[in-house]
Structure 1
Amino acid sequence: MSMDASWQNEPTDYRQMGKLPRRSGPTEAARLGPLSITSATMDEELLDLPWHVALEEWPVHNLAALPRGISRHVVRFAHLGGSVIAVKETNEHVARHEYHMLRKLQRLAVPCVEPLAIVAGRRNAAGEDLKPALVTRHLRFSMPYRAVFSQTLRRATLTRLIDAQALLLVRLHLLGFYWGDVSLSNTLFRRDAGAFAAYLVDAETGELYPELSTGQREYDLEVGRVNIAGELMDLIEGGLVEEAVDPVAVSERIIDSYRNLWAALTERESFEFGQRWRINARIRKLNELGFDVEEYSILTAPGQSEVQLQPKVVDAGHHQRRLLRLTGLDVQENQARRLLNDIDAYRTDASTAQDEELAAHEWVTHVFEPIVKSIPRELSGKLEPAEVVHQVLEHRWYISEAQHRNVPLAEALQAYLDDVLPHRRDEAAIILDPKAGGPGLADYDDAE
């Protein structure tokens, strides 16, 4: 396999299956001929999958019954040991481009799926060539946009999906990534403290540049607007969105959301020299949006009192990093913001925990861990732990307000476990019995 120098020490190209470790004897795929498997971390159980069979014809026992988004390629979810992978058939050039692009995006901390391998050189039992496959790890607790809808899409849910898409696009553009095919179909969504976090799932048209031009950004934005409008029209036709929704008007939300966020992150701001407090105000505003100011420029001119402030380098994940530093918890951005707010409140209430690090440690011990450990095993797949903690804290606030008293955490937790969590839909990518047909759209509704 040929690679440029920057990738020499990363993926390993396994040209002959005979050179790969096996658990017991040759697999049927190995008997049918050699494969070329490119993987940074080779998983031996990849050899057990039926690569000699076209993906559309894979046996049911290999498949995981999970909801899929719309794709121009054949895509299937499959079991790999105790986890789930997504397998996409495409041509080898596209597979290699997307594999390497996803690895680069991962290094840049972009929310995206994890690439596992490229499987090329496939042939069926008749000796006919089969398309190469790109293998990625399924993102637990994630849903394609169609799976978020039940009988009718709530406008608020749609707004949050598009806002999450716009935020992802801004993050990509700040890093110089041109997507080329922005759409809800190419994105996975995870709940994030009442909002949604968007993850890139398809990078086959993407390119990474030192910096994007305004024209490249605008074209990506226009592609997203058109694609989202088309996706909404399709949903309306299928009866999944109320007919009163204007797909064109709603799709333009991504443009407004994107431009507002882009301006907040990159726009130059002028103010009088005596208003230097606005520097901190601007930084706080960026932090509230989930971004850090790594560096900023202040420009002044001799004899003038005006100051120009422009963030120079911005990065997402301010609250995530703060929570990770204080507690070791790695969660979504909005979840981190909500948990940090509770830590700050805990710190205020606990007279013995004035130090921030000490307060955070005590909060994990007395709040976060007790909530997570209280989740019954049969309910552990409903939501990821950080989302459960967020919802318990929100539930406590609601019932305290309704009852006009400060409800103890233990009482609020029990009420949540009794009355709320059992009725939530499973979002941990629970693998259903393939014979049962898999989950329908209504199994992944926005039950807020």
Structure 2
Amino acid sequence: MSGSLNITSAMADPALLDLPWHLPLDAWPNENIASLPKGISRHLVRFAHLGGHVVAIKETTAEMAKGEYEMLRTLQRMEIPCVEPVAVITNRSDGEGEMLKPVLVTRHLKFSMPYRALFSQTLRPDTATRLVDALAVLLVRLHIAGFFWGDVSLSNTLFRRDAGAFAAYLVDAETGQLYTGGLSNGQRENDLEIARVNIAGELMDLEAGGRVADELDPIRISNGIVDAYRKLWKELTGSESFHSSERWRISERVDRLNALGFDIEELAIKTDETGTTVRIQPKVVDAGHHQRRLLRLTGLDAEENQARRLLNDLDSYRASYGKTEFDEEMVAHEWLMRVFEPVVRAIPLDLKGKLEPAEVFHQLLEHRWFMAQRQGHDIPLAEALSSYINDVLRHRRDEATMIAPDTGLITMAIGTVPADDDDEDTDWRLKV
């Protein structure tokens, strides 16, 4: 290592010193590089092995690297879904003393994929719609927190499977700004228009390359984020007036927000001078209603829809075994020991990287339901599990790391895709 290297990091990981910082990022040896699907970026980005995990390394300027590092740390403290910042490396130089670009290091989000990796042959309209809906939820959460993104796009987002839907995570925060007083309507609309235009462009780019289904309309899909965003924003922040005799609508509003996965910490309730009209408005809305309940009851950390599905199975377990009058936490512990954990332990070691445990459990329940529909009777969980492992899970791509194989690949202009793979949700591996 040449020169005096500066490392800014909140994590005391000595393995950072073992990476070849004296080399330009595009010259790093293969032994350090992890071959993972990579989204489109204006900067050079490489994935590298760091200890027992993988990190993304982006070459940029010192000012931008430090700013994005601090912004990501702030967003993490606010519990906004985003990648975890690891370090900023500056004062890099090669063996000749020539200065190299500073880098930002972030931890790779396990089981996540860039949008291009969520299909193999063609992107179907329903998959594209689910991605856009997930991005709309993320954008609403960011705006509620007072964050102006400035570069909303599918490329700047990572997606994780979430019980039939997707959960979106912010990847690139270099253009973002946080406003403690909240965002104006103009700022929100600006971000929304940026999202609409960028998504349309990304889908048109795929369309030009023959990578989308014929029935997919990029303009309709991109306009969908506007509709999805405005509906969710109105539900989360909009005021509602009704007659004082309809006070049940207060609980109904709270239930609707809970069903969407949000909690209300504070609800403003006002009446008019006559006391006949009531006006309510959520003042503080937190995402993760089902996640927090599942974590409190079982200690399991899952995405919101996964948590909702696991909680539904937990509630069914309570009802099926006549335990509705028992303490909820006690029954949750029993369900965890007797239902969830045996399923996770039954997954063969070589299949552990296919999907995260909560998604495996969700898909198992789906598989069991379809088996019961076909056979016309209930299916024991053990029988469904054996069928799911052998007929479904064993044939999936690994999503823990999604490392590209060395053989059986068709080389494309912008990357590689697995041969003979017609699953629209399998990964599209891009060489790095």
Q: Same fold (TM over 0.5)?
A: yes
Within 2, Cα distance between the matches of 1:270 and 1:337? 30
Q: Is 1:271 equivalent to 2:242 in the alignment?
A: yes
Show the counterpart of 2:425.
Answer: 446
Alignment of 1:233-312 (within 5 A): 233-312=204-283
**Aligned-pair distance for 1:445?**
4.3
2:118/2:426 contact within 8 Å kept: no
Alignment correspondent of 2:186: 215
Could you tell me which residue of structure 2 aligns to residue 151 of structure 1?
121
* Paired position in structure 1 for 2:396: 424
Q: AA paired with 2:398? A: D
Aligned mates of 2:408, 2:101 — CA distance in 1: 29
Q: How does 1:174-189 map to 2 (within 5 A)?
A: 174-189=144-159
Residue 58 (structure 1) aligns with: 28
Deviation at 1:436, TM superposition (A): 8.8
Counterpart of 2:53 in structure 1: which amino acid?
Answer: S
Q: C-alpha displacement at 1:431, in angstroms?
A: 3.7
CA contact (8 A) 2:124 2:216 kept: no
Q: Residues 372-391 of structure 1: matches in 2 within 5 Å?
A: 372-391=344-363
CA contact under 8 A between 2:59 and 2:101: conserved in structure 1? yes
Match of 1:83 in 2: 53
CA distance in 2, matches of 1:390, 1:247: 30
C-alpha distance in 2, partners of 1:436/1:91?
38
Contact 1:64-1:434 within 8 A present in 2 as well: no
Whether 2:23 is the aligned partner of 1:46: answer no
The reply on whether 1:68 has 2:38 as its aligned counterpart is yes
Gaps of 5+ in 2: 428-432
- After TM superposition, give the deviation of residue 277 of structure 1 in Å: 0.6
Moved more, 242-251 or 269-278: 242-251
For 1:436 and 1:423, locate their aligned partners in 2 and report how far apart those are by CA, in whole Å: 15
**Per-residue deviation, residues 191-232 of structure 1 (Å, max 9, x unmatched):** 000100000000000111120110110000000001001101
> In the superposition, relative to structure 1, how do residues 422 and 433 fare at CA in structure 2: closer, same or farther (>3 Å)?
closer
Any conservation in 1 of the 2:54–2:107 contact (CA below 8 Å)? yes
Deviates more, 1:294-303 or 1:62-71: 294-303
What SS does structure 2 have at the residue aligned with 1:126? coil
Task: Indicate how the Cα distance of structure 1 residues 37 and 436 shifts in structure 2: closer, same or farther if over 3 A, else same.
Answer: farther
Q: Secondary structure at the match of 1:226?
A: helix
One-letter amino acid matched to 1:235: L
Give 1:357 deviation, angstroms.
1.2
Aligned to 1:3: none
Deviations 1:74-97 (A, max 9, x none): 000001111100000000000000
Q: CA deviation at 1:352?
A: 4.5
- Structure 1 residue identity aligned to 2:143: H
Aligned partners of 2:5 and 2:92 also within 8 Å: yes
2:290 is equivalent to residue 319 of structure 1: yes
C-alpha separation in 1, matches of 2:183 and 2:397? 40
The alpha carbon displacement at 1:48 in A equals 1.1
**Match of residue 345 from structure 1:** 316
Alpha carbons 2:125, 2:213 under 8 Å: kept: no
Contact 2:117-2:426 within 8 A present in 1 as well = no
The percent identity for this pair of structures is 62
Give the secondary structure class of the aligned counterpart of 1:362.
Answer: helix
Provide the residue aligned with 1:17 in structure 2.
none
What is the one-letter code of the residue matched to 2:339? V
Instruction: Report SS of the residue matched to 1:61.
Output: coil
- Residue deviations 1:395-445, cap 9 Å, x none? 111211222211111111111112111111110114456799899445784
Map 1:402-417; keep pairs closer than 5 Å: 402-417=374-389
Q: Counterparts of 2:205 and 2:76 in 1: how far apart (Å)?
A: 32
TM-score (norm 1): 0.90
Secondary structure class of the residue paired with 1:99: helix
Matched, 1:97 2:76: no
1:57 is displaced (CA, Å) by 1.1
CA contact (8 A) 2:119 2:426 kept: no
Letter in 2 for 1:395: H
Counterpart in 2 of 1:168? 138
Equivalent position SS for 1:69: coil
Shift of 1:246: 2.3
Distance 1:85 1:405 in 2: 47
What CA distance in whole angstroms lies between the structure 2 residues aligned with 1:82 and 1:289? 36
C-alpha distance in structure 2 between counterparts of 1:126 and 1:403, whole Å: 71
1:125 aligns with 2:95: yes
Give the AA of the match of 1:51.
W
Contact 1:64 1:432 in 2 (8 A): no
1:103-142 matches, within 5 Å, as: 103-142=73-112
SS in 2 for 1:241: coil
- Contact in 2 for aligned 1:425/1:445 (Cα 8 Å): no
Q: CA deviation at 1:245?
A: 2.4
One-letter code of the match for 2:60? Answer: T
Supply the distance in 2 between the matched residues of 1:35 and 1:162 (Cα, whole angstroms): 41
Q: Is the 8 A contact 2:37 2:402 kept in 1?
A: no
Residue of structure 2 in register with 1:230 after alignment? 201
Q: After the TM superposition, which of the residue ranges 296-305 and 320-329 deviates more from structure 2?
A: 296-305
Q: Secondary structure at the match of 1:229?
A: helix
Q: Determine the structure 2 residue equivalent to 1:395.
A: 367
- CA–CA distance in structure 2, aligned partners of residues 40 and 402 of structure 1: 53
- In 2, the alpha carbon distance for the partners of 1:440 and 1:93 equals 34
Shift of 1:244: 3.6
CA distance in 2, matches of 1:240, 1:92: 37
- The 8 Å contact of residues 382 and 427 in structure 1, kept in 2 or not, is answered as yes
Q: AA paired with 1:130?
A: L
Mapped contact 2:243–2:277 kept (Cα < 8 A) = yes
Q: Which moved more, 1:373-382 or 1:123-132?
A: 123-132
How far residue 61 of structure 1 moved from its aligned partner, in angstroms, is 1.1
Choose between structure 1 and 2 for higher RCO, CA contacts under 8 A separated by at least 6 residues: 2
Distance in 1 separating the partners of 2:138 and 2:86: 22
Distance 1:217 1:258 in 2: 10
Aligned residue for 1:330, secondary structure, equals: coil
